[in-house]
A and B are shown apart, each in its own frame.
Chain A
Amino acid sequence: MTSAPALVVDNLRKTYGNGVEALKGISLTVQPGDFFALLGPNGAGKSTLIGILSSLVNSTSGDAQVFGMSVNTQRSEAMRLIGLVPQEINFNQFEKPFDICVNEAGFYGIPRKIAAQRAEKYLKELRLWDKAQHQAREMSGGMKRRLMIARAMMNEPKLLILDEPTAGVDIEIRRSMWQFVSGINAAGTTVILTTHYLEEAESLCRNIAIIDHGTIVENTSMKRLLATLDVETFILDVTSAPAELPQLPGIILRRTDEHTLEAEMARSRDLNTLFAALSANDIMVNSMRNKTNRLEELFVRLVENGRQAPEAAESKHKGQGKAA
């Protein structure tokens, strides 16, 4: 059992009653101990996939196995291994955080005494202990999200699934949440994360799958994916940006305002070429930074390419139709 992958998704399909095909036969594998990013635009199928893994959504066909346990045929065994932090707040707002956590443990068959100890441990680790005996509805949005993480930890899962856990959470709380989740991952828990903050995914996750329109458009290691990015854009803060910009071979130079330039260049080119050319044209650079997060740039390209491919095929098909 320990050698089984943390998650195997095998040709999973989901068509809703209204005919929407949310998943079109996706397959992927997540290894034990991984910190795995599942990314995709809104409506791509991420939440449907998580819904099927947590048994809230019935799949149309295909299967998923959690550490070798099928969510279709061994539901109880599979669910025992999963901790879920959903996208929407889904606890009783009139209950106290301590009771929410202890009851959650009870649903997993954990005796009340152990549940109380765990509730104290995780509420303290997530800095919610002072709110433990207040009604949950009195808490801020960030606290509610941390409460859902504490609740998901009550059964000490081997696979923790986080569905956009930091949506609408300020930077300080986000950092403390990631510190906690990184610690859990370092201790051996496999983590699957969906997020729209791509810099989070880039810094935390080792492997990644990008899903769009119900299909996997990329599934690889974060390092390998980032290595495919061949162009980088830099923002240069300059003393004075001339109206007429020099033509530099292999570098596209744009003027944003009188003190800012953008330089787009191949990653293979060294920066000395850029600086030498700017110096030769009396342009003094005060500071420099990357324009965007690298993963964000790749994400946009992959999703756009995925969308252009069917459109191209469709226009080709129409063209053939006309010729016929």
Chain B
Amino acid sequence: MIRHTNLIALYTISRREIVRIVRIWTQTLIPPVITMTLYFVIFGKLIGSQIHEVAGGFTYMQYIVPGLVMMSIINNSYMNISSSFFGAKFQRSVEEMLVAPMANWVILAGYVIGSVARGLVVGLLVLVIALFFTSLHVAHPLVALASVTLGATIFALAGFINAMYAKKFDDIALVPTFVITPLTYLGGVFYSISMLGEPWQAISRINPILYMVNAFRFGILGISDVSVGWAFVVMLAFVAALSILALQLLKRGIGLRS
């Protein structure tokens, strides 16, 4: 009975989140596509044409496509969950779920599924746009799919935790501005860390986004700055740690129950 309740509740939350993304598609799907198109034009075409081939014999445009796709996935899965869950807190509609008989993991999983869905749809759209600028052959489809799914999940979990602590809308903008954006730009989206000297190469290796970008780049181009196996270990460890933290916060009702 309880399991049945949880499955229907999970379907309800995920469905509601996906319906929301589609309902406000001009805010959720179009802006990241426009931003990434500008990146392709400016960095790939205009500046990239001045750069000769980079690692593995790929053009600079081909090299940055996986990083830009992962960057849009990370940003969108994070923004989706943080704004949607904080919005539910702000309007107090989160109480609908808190007074219901479903388990805490259902609330978390429902929101994460919605955010991962947005991240993957945006990632797919950006990939399609990239094909207007360059040609790509997916080297390892399963690695590519697994890495974007794990990357989106990690940032969906992080966004959920941020939204739990947030007391005002400004609080959900702090992490993207001061944490995600710098880590993304320093996470090997636009360059290979082999171009860096020490200690910057070692410092770069403690940035989790480096592993996500390189795992996906391996999936698409077949090249990576880090061991792909190790990248998956790091990503899975982040998923586990953030899931445990989010569930603990839900159990204690941080920011939700008095």
Interfacial residues, chain A to chain B (CB-CB below 8 A): 16, 51, 54-58, 75-77, 79-80, 82, 84, 86, 88-93, 99, 103-104, 106-112, 151
What does DSSP make chain B's interface, helix, strand, loop or mixed?
helix
Residues 1-22 of B, flagged 1 when their CB comes within 8 A of A and 0 if not, give: 1101111110111001001000
CB distance from B30 to the nearest CB of A (A): 19
Residues of chain B at interface, number, CB under 8 A? 30
* CB within 8 Å for A109 and B101 given contacts A56-B257, A91-B93: yes
B107 to chain A, nearest CB (A): 9
With contacts A90-B91, A92-B91, A107-B9 known, is A80 near B101, CB below 8 A? yes
* Chain B residues near A90 (CB-CB < 8 A): 91-93, 95-96
Q: Is B179 an interface residue (CB 8 A)?
A: no
Q: Per a CB cutoff under 8 Å, which of A16, A84, A103 touches B99?
A: A84
Q: A108-B101, A109-B1, A109-B4 are in contact. List 4 more A-B contacts (CB 8 A).
A: A79-B100, A92-B88, A103-B12, A106-B9
The answer to whether A107 and B97 have CB atoms under 8 Å apart is: yes
Contact partners of B91 in chain A: CB under 8 A: 90-93
What would be 25 A-B contacts, judged by CB atoms less than 8 Å apart? A56-B95, A56-B99, A56-B257, A75-B101, A76-B2, A76-B5, A88-B92, A90-B91, A92-B88, A92-B91, A99-B19, A103-B12, A104-B100, A106-B9, A106-B11, A107-B9, A107-B13, A107-B96, A107-B97, A108-B5, A108-B101, A109-B9, A109-B102, A110-B8, A151-B96
CA distance A75 to B95 in the complex (A): 15
With both chains docked as a complex, state the minimum distance between the C-beta of B210 and any C-beta of chain A, in angstroms: 38
Bound Cα distance A77, B5 (Å): 11
**Residues of chain B with a CB closer than 8 A to A92's CB:** 87-88, 91, 93
Which 10 A-B residue pairs are closest in the complex by CB-CB distance?
Answer: A106-B12, A109-B5, A107-B100, A90-B92, A76-B101, A79-B101, A92-B93, A57-B258, A109-B8, A80-B101
Q: Mark B98-118, 1 if CB is under 8 A from A, else 0.
A: 111111000000000000000
In the bound complex, what is the Cα–Cα distance between A54 and B97 (angstroms)?
11
Which positions 55-78 of chain B face chain A at CB distance < 8 Å? Answer: none
Tell me if B258 and A58 are in contact (CB < 8 A): yes
Name the A residues within 8 Å of B92 (CB-CB): 88-90
For the complex, give the distance between the alpha carbons of A56 and B95 in Å: 7
B253 located at the interface, meaning its Cβ lies under 8 Å from any Cβ of chain A in the complex = yes
